[in-house]
């Protein structure tokens, strides 16, 4: 419990780390050509979380977990949650249901072998649970997971389920854009902010958006969410805290935009808000409709 004098928001927020290396948005056949930097960058995040007494969910890419099992153990030992980000970082929009299931299974087996624990949560590569890949929800349920956190309730050129709930809800593959009270499987949509007057939603959930917007705006938007007694749900990648890394020319501008600003902004975020893992939120604080 927070002391009474503490001015932290009552509503605990959720922080998620998508643990992949800086080259994982290339095809997996290209990965061996690049230097692994994920260990150092993830350790930097672990240190910052420890210093600010925050917890997070680490959505591990199976490939990274397989290469660095000690990292997975270390994350778990520090009280964080281990979730899965699949194995090969393939967009679900480029997979058949069978391919998706195989990739997910591979990651789950690797994680189970390392931790001995069942994984509760899933994050899709590049947030690719969208209306046409709604079938993925049924596969996640079938595999015994308890929640997904891949839906952005906005329209962007790359992803999004416009009109979907903006707070944790119960999700069904029949309509992933609405709360389905009969379901037990949960969805944790990434945080968005409705701009007054034009009433348009924009993402504010960390990652690229933390780099793109000035910090005071992110802080304002997340405070607004907390004022409605709702948790903010934010993410970040380890490579976003590794600005000295060489750049991959084939990756688009938004991968490196303002990357030097990430660490400073991320530290402010960790000091201004209280974060926990999705699992802890479900167990202790969580109330969904």
Q: Name the residues that contact Zn ion, by CB under 5 A.
A: 18, 20, 125
CB of 59 to Zn ion, least distance (A): 8
Beta bridge partners of 158: none
Of residues 9 and 238, the one with the C-beta less far from Zn ion: 238
Alpha helices for the chain (secondary structure H): 38-52, 62-67, 69-77, 97-115, 135-142, 207-212, 215-227, 262-272, 278-280
Number of H helices, E strands in the chain: 9, 11
Q: Please say whether the beta carbons of 20 and 85 come within 8 A.
A: yes
CA distance 9 to 145: 29
CB of 200 to Zn ion, least distance (A): 26
Q: Which long-range contacts (CB under 8 A, 24 or more apart) does 154-158 make?
A: 154/192, 154/201, 154/202, 154/203, 156/203, 158/126, 158/127
Of residues 239 and 274, the one with the C-beta less far from Zn ion: 239
CB of 165 to Zn ion, least distance (A): 23
Nearest one of 215, 201, 192 to 265, comparing CA atoms: 215
Of residues 20 and 103, the one with the C-beta less far from Zn ion: 20
CB of 85 to Zn ion, least distance (A): 6
CB of 181 to Zn ion, least distance (A): 31
């Amino acid at each position: 419990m927070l002391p009474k004098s503490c001015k932290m928001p009552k509503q605990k927020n959720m922080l998620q780390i998508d643990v992949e290396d800086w080259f994982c948005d290339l095809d997996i056949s290209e990965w061996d050509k690049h230097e692994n930097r994920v260990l150092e960058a993830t350790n930097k995040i672990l240190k910052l979380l420890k210093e600010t007494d925050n917890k997070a969910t680490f959505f591990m890419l199976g490939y990274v977990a397989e290469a660095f099992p000690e990292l997975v153990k270390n994350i778990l030992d520090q009280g964080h949650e281990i979730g899965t980000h699949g194995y090969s970082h393939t967009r679900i929009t480029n997979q058949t249901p069978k391919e998706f299931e195989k990739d997910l299974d591979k990651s789950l087996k690797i994680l189970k072998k390392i931790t001995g624990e069942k994984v509760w949560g899933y994050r899709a590569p590049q947030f690719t649970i969208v209306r046409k890949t709604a079938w993925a929800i049924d596969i996640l349920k079938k595999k015994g997971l308890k929640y997904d956190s891949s839906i952005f309730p906005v329209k962007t050129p790359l992803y999004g389920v416009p009109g979907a709930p903006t707070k944790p809800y119960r999700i069904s593959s029949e309509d992933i854009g609405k709360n389905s009270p009969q379901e037990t499987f949960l969805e944790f949509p990434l945080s968005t902010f409705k701009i007054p007057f034009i009433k348009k939603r924009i993402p504010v959930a960390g990652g690229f958006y933390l780099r793109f917007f000035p910090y005071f705006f992110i802080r304002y938007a997340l405070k607004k969410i907390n004022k409605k007694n709702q948790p903010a749900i934010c993410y970040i990648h380890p490579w976003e805290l590794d600005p000295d890394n060489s750049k991959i020319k084939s990756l688009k501008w938004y991968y490196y935009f303002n990357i030097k600003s990430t660490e400073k902004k991320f530290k402010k975020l960790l000091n201004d808000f209280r974060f926990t893992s999705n699992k802890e939120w479900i167990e202790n604080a969580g109330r969904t409709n």
